[in-house]
């Protein structure tokens, strides 16, 4: 009964938070986090008995989210902005890590922790910026294509960081060797899987769709996601990496992508539970006790990221106005920052206090970013910027 009561509270909080976010014109992610605050043990009112009770369901939500990103990832989408996306995103992440080291040294963090902090804060929420661009009908605009392209490459960088961060937690003279081995394992897993994606899986899914029913296709697709995550987990790599690779497996199959579309309801529910759980972990008391650190992180996310993205995008000859618009959409953090922050906390690279500050920074950055984007004049979908 305690589990059922907690589950009811979480879903109710997700509904209330999402409803408030919709009324205010905010992304659902912000609503879910706010809903988590409503049922947090650290705030007044009804609260769930155990904030970690839904960790497994939240993990499934993250896996399905990574799975969807992999299934939707297409090199063709990067064709028109490939140079900016493929070169600009890694360059910006390096700048963010350097800024993180500077901020970390100011607050007494080790160099490695500062670099990890910069990497965590570098990742914008694809869900938030895509939702904002869709609402403004600017996905096809020049700044929309640039923003989505950079965001897709950032999602790929998250996959790499999800492999690297756990290894960095056990820093030793052998760390470089361990890191090389981990990346080597990832490469050895990715190569045959990419080959399978072109040779076996699409045909297999087509056969399932032809000979069987949609229900079996859905089950097989889900099995691919969880199975690939299990394989990468068995080899000591990130579960998120396996889910992403599974998405790549079926990205070339229209039938497989249709099955992923059917999983959206399950994914959205698990993602909602994940973000409500994140909101329930936030300790509002830290907002006061660590107000200086929170303000610093928020300035990093909103102002620092805007300046760096503006400079990086402008470096590729993009007009200033278009560069500024893309930089503004990217000046927030969300779902994948939570994933990396959790990995860094488990690896003891950042403290629980800093983890809570990052969660609060995400909530405030999404709110501020949505308000700032609203101030931009709307443009047609084919506007070149």
Q: pLDDT (tens digit, 9 = 90+) per residue, 54-111? A: 777 777 877 887 787 777 666 565 566 678 888 999 999 999 999 999 999 999 999 9
Contacts of 321 (CB under 8 A, 6+ apart): 385
Token duo for residue 59? 């993990």
Q: Name the stretches of the chain with pLDDT < 70.
A: 72-81, 169-176, 178-179, 182-183, 186, 189-190, 193-198, 235-238, 379-385
Token duo for residue 362? 């995400």
At 49 the pLDDT is 81
Task: Give the end-to-end CA distance of the chain in Å, rounded to a whole number.
Answer: 56
From CA 126, how far away is CA 152, in angstroms rounded?
8
Length of the chain: 385
C-alpha dihedral over 290, 17, 334, 316, to 10 degrees? Answer: -120
Question: Which CATH number describes the domain made up of 2-374?
Answer: 1.20.1530.20
How many Cβ atoms are within 10 Å of 248's Cβ, its own excluded? 20
From CA 364, how far away is CA 37, in angstroms rounded?
13
At 183 the pLDDT is 67
How many Cβ atoms are within 10 Å of 383's Cβ, its own excluded? 14
Say which residue the tokens 């014109």 belong to.
Answer: 25
Q: Structural domain boundaries of the chain? A: 2-374
């Amino acid at each position: 009964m305690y589990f059922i009561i907690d589950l009811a509270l979480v879903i109710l909080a997700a509904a209330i938070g999402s409803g408030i976010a919709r009324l205010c014109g905010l992304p659902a992610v912000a609503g879910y986090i706010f809903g988590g605050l409503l049922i947090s043990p650290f705030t007044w009112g009804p609260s769930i008995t155990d904030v970690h009770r839904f960790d497994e369901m939240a993990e499934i939500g993250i896996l399905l989210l990574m799975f969807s990103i992999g299934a939707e990832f297409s090199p063709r989408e990067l064709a028109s902005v490939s140079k900016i996306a493929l070169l600009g995103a890694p360059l910006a992440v390096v700048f963010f890590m350097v800024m993180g080291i500077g901020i970390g040294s100011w607050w007494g963090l080790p160099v490695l922790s500062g670099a990890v902090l910069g990497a965590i804060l570098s990742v914008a929420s694809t869900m938030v910026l895509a939702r904002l661009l869709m609402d403004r009908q600017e996905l096809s605009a020049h700044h929309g294509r640039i923003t989505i392209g950079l965001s897709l490459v950032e999602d790929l960088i998250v996959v790499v960081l999800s492999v690297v961060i756990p290894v960095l937690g056990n820093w030793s003279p052998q760390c470089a060797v361990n890191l090389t081995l981990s990346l080597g394992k990832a490469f050895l897993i990715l190569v045959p899987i990419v080959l399978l994606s072109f040779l076996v899986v699409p045909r297999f899914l087509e056969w399932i769709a032809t000979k069987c029913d949609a229900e079996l296709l859905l089950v097989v697709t889900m099995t691919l996601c969880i199975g690939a995550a299990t394989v990468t987990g068995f080899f000591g790599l990130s579960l998120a990496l396996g889910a992403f690779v599974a998405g790549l497996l079926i990205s070339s199959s229209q039938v497989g992508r249709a099955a992923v579309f059917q999983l959206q309801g399950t994914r959205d529910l698990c993602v909602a539970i994940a973000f409500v759980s994140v909101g329930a972990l936030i300790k509002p008391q830290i907002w006061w006790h660590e107000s200086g650190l929170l303000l610093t992180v928020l300035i990093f996310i909103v102002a620092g990221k805007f300046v760096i993205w503006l400079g990086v995008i402008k470096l590729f000859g993009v007009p200033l106005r278009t560069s500024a618009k893309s930089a503004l959409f990217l000046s927030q953090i969300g779902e994948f920052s939570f994933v990396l922050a959790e990995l860094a906390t488990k690896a003891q690279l950042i403290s629980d206090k800093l983890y809570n500050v990052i969660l609060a920074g995400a909530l405030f950055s999404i709110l501020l970013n949505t308000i700032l984007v609203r101030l931009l004049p709307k443009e047609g979908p084919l506007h070149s910027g």
